[in-house]
């Protein structure tokens, strides 16, 4: 590994925020982790960095950034119904989804065009259009930074929740994800229950969609309303969708008949944070180069030269505004550093 000093992280975070790391390592093979963790005696903080797609830098990082760039896809096993595919943590997520769809392996197509790397997908339990990564994940391969050993974490042991997992709680900073194994369907089951997807398919007169149709349609939907992080700095959804009680939902529904919410299995409702933000008057708002996207209020953007602190300041104003109007607290989905 080549050590780089005072390294710019602008090309390694999707907000394109100019921040510097004291030291930067790019790790291209899991075996090199031993060289770092077992032989490096530095007491400096370490930041594990994947694609940088769910991160907002508000200052320089005083420590060592470890960039995970492992590559490789392999078939572990298969039977008549399923195929188990293992992807290295550094593989691009959407490239991997595309690869699976091209091979007619079903299960990931609803998660198309989500930016990031494969290794980050279990951490957030990424989800979209009626699917979550926990639905297809079989196991996660990790490197224990304390023991130097490889460990296998089963789906059940990942303790998946809404945009959460054990990798954000008790295993945070102690386990580095090196690969993820998925259990995919060789006879795909189509998931077109999400209203926007179903309507888009009907508009195209696609009555019996394939997983390729699902992927293409979802890509079209996302491209029509979400900014391309390669062109406009953003991290996708900045806030989590809040969960409220059924009684609270009914009260709000009386006052706001167009309230967007989804009933959960526990009797509560999940509200669309983007709707709350838009109703609070923030959609399309801009402060210098920090702004709220004009097509999706859930997305905060860097129009060019915004700092992380400016993005965060805007996010705090939005959170305060929504709390005052609806008495509903919003949580950040993006990691703030």
Residues assigned a catalytic role: 163, 237, 333
**What is the spatial distance between Cα 233 and Cα 211, in angstroms, rounded to a whole number?**
30
**What is the spatial distance between Cα 299 and Cα 227, in angstroms, rounded to a whole number?**
8
72 neighbors 118 (Cβ within 8 angstroms): no
């Amino acid at each position: 590994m080549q050590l780089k000093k005072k390294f710019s992280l602008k090309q390694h975070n999707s907000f394109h925020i100019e921040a510097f790391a004291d030291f930067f390592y790019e790790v291209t093979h899991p075996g090199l982790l031993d060289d770092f963790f077992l032989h490096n005696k530095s007491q400096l903080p370490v930041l594990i960095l994947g694609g940088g797609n769910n991160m907002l830098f508000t200052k320089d990082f005083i420590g060592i950034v470890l960039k995970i760039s492992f590559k490789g896809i392999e078939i572990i096993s298969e039977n008549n119904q399923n195929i188990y595919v293992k992807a290295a943590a550094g593989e691009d997520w959407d490239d991997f989804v595309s690869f699976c769809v091209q091979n007619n392996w079903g299960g990931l197509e609803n998660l198309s065009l989500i930016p990031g790397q494969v290794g980050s997908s279990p951490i957030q339990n990424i989800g979209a259009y009626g699917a979550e990564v926990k639905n297809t994940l079989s196991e996660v391969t990790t490197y224990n930074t304390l023991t130097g050993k490889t460990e296998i974490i089963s789906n059940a042991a990942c303790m998946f929740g809404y945009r959460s997992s054990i990798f954000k709680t008790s295993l945070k900073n102690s386990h580095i994800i090196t690969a993820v194994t998925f259990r995919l369907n060789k006879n795909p089951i189509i998931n077109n229950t999400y209203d926007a997807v179903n309507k888009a398919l009907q508009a195209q007169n696609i009555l019996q969609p394939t997983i390729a149709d699902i992927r293409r349609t979802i890509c079209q939907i996302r491209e029509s309303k979400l900014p391309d992080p390669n062109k406009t700095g953003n991290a996708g959804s900045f806030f989590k969708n809040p969960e409220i009680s059924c009684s609270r939902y009914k009260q709000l529904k009386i006052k706001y008949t167009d309230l967007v919410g989804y009933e959960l299995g526990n009797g509560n409702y999940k509200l669309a944070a983007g709707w709350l933000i838009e109703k609070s008057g923030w959609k399309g708002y801009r402060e210098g180069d920090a702004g709220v996207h004009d097509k999706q209020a859930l997305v905060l953007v860097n129009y060019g030269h915004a700092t992380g602190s400016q993005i965060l300041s805007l996010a705090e104003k939005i959170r305060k505004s929504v709390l005052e109007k609806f008495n509903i607290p919003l949580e950040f989905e993006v990691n703030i550093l």
